[in-house]
Structure 1
Amino acid sequence: MTLARLAARHGVATAYSPSEGVTVPVPDATVVAVLGALGVDATTPEAVTAALDAADRADRERLLPPTLVLRRGESPLHPPGESPTHPPGDLPPGTLLRVTTEDGAVVTGQDWERLPLGVHTVEAQAPDGRTATSTLIVSPARVPGPEHRAYGLLVQLYSLLSHRSWGMGDLGDLRELVTWAGRVHGAGFVQVNPLHAGVPGAPSDPSPYRPSSRRFPDPVHLRIEEIPEYALVGPEHREELDRILAEAAELRERVLGKGAAIDRDAVWELKRRALELVVESVELGPGRRADFHDFLAARGRALEDHATYQALAERHGHHWREWPEELREPRAAEAAVCDDPALATRVDFHCRLAWLTDRQLAAAAEAAREAGMEVGIVHDLAVGVHPEGSDAWAQQEAFAAGMSVGAPPDAFNSRGQDWGLPPWRPDALAASGYAPYRGLLQELLRHAGALRIDHVMGLFRLWWVPEGHEPTQGTYVRYDAEAMLAVLVLEAHRAGALVIGEDLGTVEPGVREELARSGVFGTSVLWFERDWAGTGRPLPPAEWRAECVATATTHDLPPTAARLSGDHVTLRHRLGLLAGDLERERATDRADTAEWLGMFQRLGLLPEGPGDEESEIRAVHRFLLGTPARMVGVWLPDAVGDRRPQNLPGTWDEYPNWRLPLAAPDGQPLTLERLAASPRAHALLRELHARTAAGARTAPPDARPV
C-alpha cells in the first residue's frame, strides 16, 4: 500500500483496466522502475517511506505549484475550486503576489481578471519569508472552430510525386496540390503526414512517426529548384548540378516507371549534394540575409541545438550516447563547435536548411489561402521522437531515461506495443512551465491551418514500458491534461488554427468529453462507428458527433477499395498477420461490408446498387457528408482506387511501409499530373464540392442538420 500511495503521488498507475469490469495489476518492478525514471527512489521499503515523507514535506512548504493555469471564463485549474479573481492555493494570509506578464507589465494583488492571454510569471512572498516563483498560463477556454463545413484531402506527401519530384513528393508538390484542390474542387483543407526531421544516416527509418525532431521540418521535403539561390549557381558548378538533376530524374523514373519503392535515403543524398553546392557557392543577398538572421534570432537556442546535433551526427553517427563524452551534452558540444571551424560551418549549413524549408512551408500555406481554403494545410504531430534523435539529445532533462511509450495489451494485440519513443517527464514539463511543449506547438503552428495530434490521449496519460521489459509489463503515467490542453488552446488561438485529435482505439472515460470542451475535434472512421453499447450495427449518420473529422480510412488502415473488395484480408493472410482461419476472416469481413452497403442502399446513397467499386466509394463519402461532422476527409488513394495501405502495422521488411507512391487500382504509380486529370478523382471530388458548397444533406430526414 505504501508503494501504491507513492505511485499515486507521482501519477503512476498500479493497475489498469483493459476493458470494462476487468482490472489488471501492474508488477511492482514496473512501478519501481517508472518511479526511478521520475527521480523517485522506491527500491526498498525504507526508500519508499523516505520518498513519501519528502513529498509530504514539500507539499507543506510549497507556496505555489511550478505551473498554474487560468482558462478564460473558468476557475484556475491548479488547485481546483479557486475563483479566477483570487490567487490559487492555500496561501498564508498576507502573502504578496506579483505577476509579470510576458510583455513585461506588472500586476499586483489579486486582480486575475486583468491578466492578458499568455505565459506569465507569478511571484509569491509569504509573511514568514518564504518565496516562490511559478509560471502562469492564461488561455482561452476553447480552440477556434471552422466557420463553415469543409471537406479536404488526406495525403502522405512523400507518396505524391510529380514530374518535377526527385523520387518522392515535396513541398512544391504540396503547393500544387492545395492550389488544384482548392481552386478546382473547392477543398477546404489538405492534411499531410508529419514533416518532422528524420533521424540522419542511412538506412533511415522511413516512418514519419518516429522522427529525430518534432520541432523542425526535414529538408528532404525541399523543392531544390525553387530555392532563389539555385538559379544563381555559377557555370563552374552548373555541370555538377546538372549531373545531380539527371540522377534525380533516374530516381524518379525508378519509382514511377519501374515500380521501385520510394528511397528516402537516395533522395536525401542527391538533395544534400545539391544544397551544399547552392549554399557554398551563392551568397545571400542583403534582404535574404536579413530574413535568415531574423529566423535565427526567433528560433534561438532550439535551432542551434538541432543544427549542432545534425552536424555532430554527420561526423559521429546519430547514436549520441556513443559520442565522445564531451559532446553528449548540448552546452558542452556548443563549446566544441566554437573551437572547430569546420563543424561550425556545418552547423550554419543545417540552420540554413531549416530556414529554407520553413520558407517553402510558408509558400505552401499561402497557396492554400490564395486557393480559397478556409482551413488550409493540416500538419500532423507525431506522438514522440526517436531516442537517438535531435530532440532527445537537446532536451535530455525533459525525457524519462530508460522508458519507452507504447500501448497495453488489448483485443487486437495481446502482447501490447512498444513504439520505441521516450516519453516526456510530466514533472519536468511542469517545472519548465511546459516550455518544450510550447516551443514545439509554436513551430508546428507557424504555417498550419490546423494541427492533427496523433494519439491525442497522450495529453492525459501514456503507457510507459521500462527498458528490457515486455510491453505487457508497462504502466500508465498520468500527465496534467488541464495544463497540456491550456497550452494547446493558447497556442492554437494565437495561430488562428484548429486542432484535431486522433482519438481512435482505447480511450479512457471522460477524455473525449474534455477534448470537446476545449474545442479539440476528434477523428471518426467509418468502419469503427458502430453502436458498440447496443446492437453493434453501423451507427446511423444522425448519431455521429459533429466536432470531428469524418473519414473512411487512415494511413494505418486499408484503403476503401481494399476494404470493399476484401483485398486487405488476402494481404494480411499472405503476410501471416491473420490470427484466425482465412475463410472465417473473409466471411466476417464480407458480412461487415454488406452491413454498411445495406445501410447505404436504405438511405438512398447507392442508387446504382452494390457491385461497382467506384459507386460504392462515392456512397461511402455521401454517407460521411450525411453525418453532422464539420470536417470530412478523403483519403487521397480512395479518389483513384489505390488498394495498397501506406502502412501495415505489425510488419517491417515484409511490406514497404511508408515507401509506396500513389497508385491506380492496378498498382501503377500515378503522378500528381495524372491525379489532376483522373476522371475517377474528378467525379468523386466534384460531388463532394457540390454537396459541401450547397450544404446538401444526403442522409434521411431524421438526420441532424449540420
Structure 2
Amino acid sequence: MEGLQQLYYLHGIGYDFVKYDGEHVVFDALTRQTAIECCGIKTNDQHVVDRLNFELDIAPWTRVVEPVTLSDSDSGTFVIKVVETLKHSIASIKVPSANIDITVKLSECDEVGDYIHSDNRYVALKINLGKLPIGYLDLLIEGAFGQVVTELWSVPKQCYNPYVSHSSKKPLGVSLQLYTLKSDRNYGIGDFADLKQLIAQFSKLGGDFILLNPLHLLFSAKPEEASPYSPSHRCLINPLYIALDDVQEIVGQECAELFSSVADLGHRRSVSSKFIDYTQTSNVKYVLFESLYNCWQQSARQEAALNTFIEEKTSILGDVELSQFEWFLQWLASEQLQHCQSLCIVQGMEIGLVNDLAVGCTGGGLEFESYRACFSEQANIGAPPDPWAEQGQNWGMPALNPIKVKHNNFAYFKSLVRSNLSQVGALRIDHVMSLRRLWWCFAKEGQELGCYVYYPFEYLLAILKIESHLHSSIVIGEDLGVVPPEVTQALEESAIFGNTLFYFEKNQNGEFKASEQLRKNALIMVANHDVPPFHGWWSAADIDIKFDYALIDEHQRHHQKQARGIEKARLISWINKHDLPDIEITASSQEVYQAVMHVLASSPSKLLAIQLDDLDLQEFPVNIPGTNTEYPNWRRKLNHELVEIFELNRDFIQQLNAIRKQQ
C-alpha cells in the first residue's frame, strides 16, 4: 500500500461497504479523493502525501509515547516504543496521582510489536504498573531516550453498568420529548418544573428512569429552528426549559421576590395550541429572563455561585463566547436539571434521568465555531442509501475530521461526554455507530457523492468507559440500522446497552421476533421520535397525515395502508402466541398497545421504556424524517396534562412494574 491509497487508509477514508440490499459497493477514486480533500489535504502534491503518510504511520514508532497512552485499569498495562539498541537500558516511570515511582528494566518487558525504518528496528514493549485508578493520569518516563510525558488513560474493561451480569433488576422507564408537556403554568413549552411533576407522578408508580430528548442549546435568535437533534452546542442547555416559577432556591429569596413584584408572570402563560409557536414562546420567556437577570443584578445575588459554575464549565469547554446573561441562563438551566435528577434519587428511582446526545451540531452554531479546527471542510454527515431514501440522506451537519478529533488529547469529545453525563443517571448516544464511522456527504464536479469515514474508535470508546465510571452513569447506544459487526461486539463487551425499537424487530420473513429472542442488554421501546406513536400507527393515521401534508400521493397511501394491514395482522398473531387473553384485529389501539407492552415487560431486555405519547393516545408524530417545513416537526404537544395521563394509566403502569420486578 503506497502513496494516496495508504493515506486514505491512515486517514480513515473508507474503501467499501455493504448496501442495505446486500450489494457490495466499492467507492470510486473521485469519491475517496474528494473525501480527503474535505480534510484540507492537497492530493496532487506528492510531498504532502508522503509527509502525512510518514506522520501517521512511521513517526509514532520513533516516539516513546504519543500524547495519549491507553492502559488497562486492572493491570496498569501500557506500551512504549524504543529503538532496539535501547532495549537493554532502564526507564524511570512516575504516575504522581497514583503514587507510582518505579524503575523498569526494558530487557525484562515483553516485546509486542516491531517496525523497521532507516535501518533501525523499533520495538513495542509492554509495561505493567498494577491496578490503577480509573481516569486520566499524568505519566512521566525518563531513560536513555530522554524524558517524555503523556496522558495515561486508565480504562476499565466496561462502562459503569450494574444491570449487565450481576443484577436481576429490570428497570421500567418512560420516554418523552420534554417540550411537548402540556400544563397551565408553562409558557407553551414543557419545562423543568413539568419534569419535576413527571418525576413525582412516575416514581409513585415504581418508575425507574425518564428518557429525555436532547436538551442541547438551540438558536435563541432563530426560535423556529426547533430540532433538538440540530443544536448550536451540545454541551449547553436550551434556556427555554427553565421554569421561571422555580428559581428561588437558585437565585435567592430576595431576587425571587423582586422578580415576582416587577414581572407579570401570568402574561400570555397559557398556550393551548396543538403545536408550539416557538417564536411567541421564546419572545415571552426571554423578556422574563431579562427581567429576572436585572433583578438578580440588583439584589444580594449569588455571584460566587455563578462564577464557580462558569469556571467549571470553561474548564471543560475552554473559552466559550457567552455573555454573563447567557451564562446566567446556563446556570439556571443546569441547576434545575440537577434538582430534577436529585428528585429522581430521593423518590427512589433506580436510574433517574437519561440524557440524549445528538450525533452532531449545526454549522455556524456555537459548538462548530468553538471547535472549527476539528471539523472537515464542505462535508456533512448523513446516511447511505436505504429503502426510504435511495439517494441517501444529508443531515446538514458538518463532519468531524477523524485526525483533528485527537487534538488536545481528545478534549472535544471528552467535553461532549462529560457535559452530557454529569447530571443524569444514564446517557443515550444517538447513532452510536458514529464512534466507529460516519457517512459523509459532499459534492464534486456537479455530483453528489458520499462514503464512510472511520474514526479512532478505541479512544472514543475509552472516553465513554472512563467518564461513565467517573459519573456512575450507564451508557445506551442507539444502534438502529446497519451496524458494523465490530461495533456490535464492542458495545456488548463494553457493557453499553443497545437500543431496540419493537417496530423493527422482525425476522427474515417479516414476522415479529419472539419476545424471548429480543436482546438482553438493550433498552427496548415500541417507538421513538422518528416513527409514529402506536395509536397513530394502529389507525394508520400517520399515513393519512403524510397524505394530508402532500408527502405521499393517493396511490402510495393505498399501498401503504395495505401493507399496514398485513403488519397489524402479524402483530395480533404475535400477541396471541404469548400467555395473554387472545385479541382480535378489531380490538382498540389501546387494548393492543397494552398487550404489546405486557409481552415486552416479560422479555429479556434489561431496560423497557413506555412512550409518553402512547399513554397520551397520541396519533400525530412529533417528527416525520425527511421533512423540514412540510410538516411541523418538533412542535406537536401532548393532548392531556400529566396528572390526567398518569391517572388514566395508573393500573397499566403498575402492572408493567409488577411484571418487571417479579422476574
Query: Same fold judged by TM-score > 0.5?
Result: yes
Give the Cα–Cα distance (whole angstroms) in 1 for the partners of residues 547 and 581 of structure 2.
30
Aligned to 2:189: 168
Asked if residue 197 in structure 1 is aligned to residue 172 in structure 2, the reply is no
Matches within 5 A, 1:91-240: 92=84, 93=87, 94=89, 96=91, 98-100=93-95, 109=104, 110-125=127-142, 127-129=144-146, 132-143=148-159, 144-146=161-163, 147=167, 148-183=169-204, 185-228=205-248, 229=251, 232=254
| 196 and 55 in structure 1: CA distance in 2 versus 1, 3 angstrom threshold | closer
Deviations 1:318-368 (A, max 9, x none): xxxxxxxxxxxxxxxxxxxxxxxxxxxxx1111111111111011101111
| 525 and 291 in structure 1: CA distance in 2 versus 1, 3 angstrom threshold | same
> Relative to total residues, which structure has the larger strand share, 1 or 2?
2
Matches within 5 A, 1:369-388: 369-388=345-364
Give the Cα–Cα distance (whole angstroms) in 2 for the partners of residues 281 and 467 of structure 1.
51
Deviates more, 1:355-364 or 1:602-611: 602-611
Match of 1:266 among 280, 291, 299: 280
| 86 and 564 in structure 1: CA distance in 2 versus 1, 3 angstrom threshold | closer
Aligned to 2:370: 394
Whether contact under 8 Å (1:642, 1:662) holds in the other structure is yes
Aligned to 2:33: 32
Whether contact under 8 Å (2:200, 2:347) holds in the other structure is yes
Match for 1:66: what amino acid?
P
Give the TM-score of the pair, scaled to structure 1.
0.83
Aligned to 1:497: 473
Aligned to 2:295: 281
Give the Cα–Cα distance (whole angstroms) in 2 for the partners of residues 121 and 424 of structure 1.
27
Give the TM-score of the pair, scaled to structure 2.
0.88
* C-alpha deviation, 1:178, in angstroms: 0.9
Give the Cα–Cα distance (whole angstroms) in 2 for the partners of residues 395 and 644 of structure 1.
37
Match of 1:87 among 70, 79, 83: 79
Aligned to 1:69: 70
Asked if residue 567 in structure 1 is aligned to residue 541 in structure 2, the reply is yes
Give the Cα–Cα distance (whole angstroms) in 2 for the partners of residues 285 and 241 of structure 1.
15
| 515 and 107 in structure 1: CA distance in 2 versus 1, 3 angstrom threshold | farther
Whether contact under 8 Å (1:170, 1:221) holds in the other structure is yes
Aligned to 1:672: 642
Whether contact under 8 Å (2:442, 2:448) holds in the other structure is no
* C-alpha deviation, 1:46, in angstroms: 6.2
Matches within 5 A, 1:234-633: 241-242=263-264, 245-249=265-269, 252-253=270-271, 256=272, 259-283=273-297, 288-300=302-314, 305-306=319-320, 308=321, 310=322, 347-466=323-442, 473-532=449-508, 535-578=509-552, 581-610=556-585, 611-633=587-609
Deviations 1:146-169 (A, max 9, x none): 341111100000000211111100
* C-alpha deviation, 1:674, in angstroms: 2.8
> Relative to total residues, which structure has the larger helix share, 1 or 2?
1
Deviations 1:484-504 (A, max 9, x none): 111101111111111111111
CA RMSD of aligned residues (A): 2.7
SS in 1 for 2:537: helix
SS in 1 for 2:130: helix
Whether contact under 8 Å (1:189, 1:375) holds in the other structure is yes
Whether contact under 8 Å (2:362, 2:397) holds in the other structure is yes
How many residue pairs get aligned? The number is: 628
| 60 and 137 in structure 1: CA distance in 2 versus 1, 3 angstrom threshold | closer
Match for 1:116: what amino acid?
P
Whether contact under 8 Å (2:208, 2:351) holds in the other structure is yes
Whether contact under 8 Å (2:602, 2:660) holds in the other structure is no
Give the Cα–Cα distance (whole angstroms) in 2 for the partners of residues 563 and 652 of structure 1.
21
Give the Cα–Cα distance (whole angstroms) in 2 for the partners of residues 235 and 188 of structure 1.
35
Aligned to 2:614: 638
Give the Cα–Cα distance (whole angstroms) in 1 for the partners of residues 309 and 103 of structure 2.
35
| 222 and 467 in structure 1: CA distance in 2 versus 1, 3 angstrom threshold | farther
SS in 2 for 1:225: coil
Asked if residue 11 in structure 1 is aligned to residue 4 in structure 2, the reply is no
Percent of counterpart pairs with the same letter?
A: 26
* C-alpha deviation, 1:473, in angstroms: 1.1
* C-alpha deviation, 1:32, in angstroms: 2.5
Deviates more, 1:596-605 or 1:116-125: 116-125
SS in 1 for 2:139: strand
Whether contact under 8 Å (1:32, 1:43) holds in the other structure is no
Aligned to 2:655: 687
Aligned to 1:336: none
Match for 1:688: what amino acid?
L
Give the Cα–Cα distance (whole angstroms) in 2 for the partners of residues 119 and 614 of structure 1.
50
